[in-house]
Amino acid sequence: MIRFYHNPRCSKSREALHLLEQSGEELEVIDYLKTPPDAEELERILSLLAIEPRDLMRRKEEEYAALHLDDVTLERRHLIAAMVQHPRLIERPIAVTDSAAVIGRPPENVLLLRQNK
């Protein structure tokens, strides 16, 4: 099963969802703005992606500047907490299985999960 963190207003997210639906994969679609991942799930996603929290953040969002998230002294837990509190900061879409995760930019990236089964 693929857990798909989706923003229905985002064209890239809609494209990636369409690709997954066409692939026949079993999907759990989560509107992450309404139901954001908790800190534990974000840690798991970051680990699967092998990236740091800022690499999963949309740096052009208002919240990024308003919360001074570019401050290099902020700890990992602070950045993750900011994403939990302000899910607009989370890059989208994200597709996750038990053993792998990808950011769907470009949307075709989500098809890489089928290779990691």
Given 2, 7, 10, 117, the catalytic residue: 10
DSSP conformation class of 95: E
Nearest-5° angle of CA 90, CA 59, CA 34?
A: 25
Strand boundaries in the chain, DSSP class E:
2-6, 27-31, 94-96, 101-103
Is 86 a residue of the active site? no
Q: Which residues are catalytic?
A: 10
